[in-house]
Structure 1
Amino acid sequence: MKKKSKKTEENELSLEAISQYKMDDLESKAYKIAIKWVQISKKIFPNYNHTGIKKGDPRKSLIFKFCYKLARETAGLIAEDEYELYIRSQLDVIKHISNGNPVLVTPACLVGDKAWFRWKLWKRKYDKIVTKPTSKVEVPQSINKTGFYKAFAGLEQTKEFFNKNSLSFNLTTFKEKKSDIIRWTNLNKISPYYICISPLAKSILQKEDYARMNFDISVYSSCINEEVLNKFRELFPEEKV
């Protein structure tokens, strides 16, 4: 089989398809999940002959159909930023039980009662790990580092947003922009990880301010270790942590 070029793969994974094919909200969500499936499945099973997203309207692909079913059936049950973890949970379990033997890797593993059971068991183990960063329990690397990877990505995204909008804060300007900062956080322009670490946020934001944000700060705080703090120091040296 002819190997796909990098350009072809990039075209397949383009988010422009959302507007090009006039996808509604649920279809857009499913398509983004499908992109995550393609990316993560290739990382976890790099030697597997994966099926890609269908050329043209991605809604006609088998991957999209399963991801659409997943998005529809888990609406309100899985947080938007947890679908990457959900996909990893299914693939990690499949890889573990295969024990190096040939295994069928298809997006069908994302849906159904068994998939939900795998997710709940995996998530329980994952939550224990991220709340105890110093734990000596050996776990798959893909589980152990997922939360920290998301923290790094979130901080970099926030820095990019600050640079793009020429934003720089001190105690005075942070207080003046507090309402905007809360709004930007709820719009995913500013990462919850930044809010968790920033000394400015800790000094200015009150309990009622955190209540206005659409995330549980304790969930994100549990993923912060020295590596994440060092990343924050690198990106935001003006804020002394």
Structure 2
Amino acid sequence: MTEPKIDIADLRREYTRGGLRRADLTPEPLALFERWLEQACEARLADPTAMCVATVDQHGQPYQRMVLLKHFDGAGMVFYTNLGSRKAEHLAHNARISLHFPWHSLERQVMVLGRAERLSVVEVMKYFHSRPKDSQIGAWVSRQSSRISARGVLEGKFLELKQKFLHGEVPLPSFWGGYRVVIDTMEFWQGGEHRLHDRFIYQRQDGGWAIDRLAP
């Protein structure tokens, strides 16, 4: 392997967009998350609801992938997936999960630790039928994480099913569902000058939230 042309060890910049002080915090973390998400949307970030979802397989190997957050409330954060996917297989063995929102241009990150619970069929069906029809068909086409010989296999299956469901409703696949992440911990990170970043961690405790500042 040749030496890289860019010396990445020297790539750095100052974080100057502002700080995060205790006075800015809310009593519970989802209110602050909602405020930050609204600001990410107002800033027109690409995919502001995109989050890195980390799971661990039965051998202890971590895996990460980007998934879209589809709902959040006091009960937790919701995403949908193929129940035969790698992430779903991992969660069947170990429900512990981590989410990470990388809002780089705002110099912010949010990390979530918790446990994933399967959504009810009623919840899944309600969301599935709110999706665009092509997205519903796409859910039928892909056996997520399985090996395929070529992209043409997917495209051919998609056209076949699009014709099949041309004039009718697309049924909910039995292998498609969702998860609610019940939050145990949320950490908010705001970049600061001279690498003196602001970090606050919320940890669920006795029916409420303990809040601590962390060293950067």
Task: State the TM-score bracket (shorter-chain normalisation).
Answer: under 0.3
Q: Please state which structure has a larger fraction of its residues in strand.
A: 2
Q: Please state which structure has a larger fraction of its residues in helix.
A: 1
TM-score (normalised: structure 1): 0.23
TM-score (normalised: structure 2): 0.25
Flag the structure with more relative contact order, 1 or 2, with Cα contacts below 8 A and sequence separation at least 6: 2
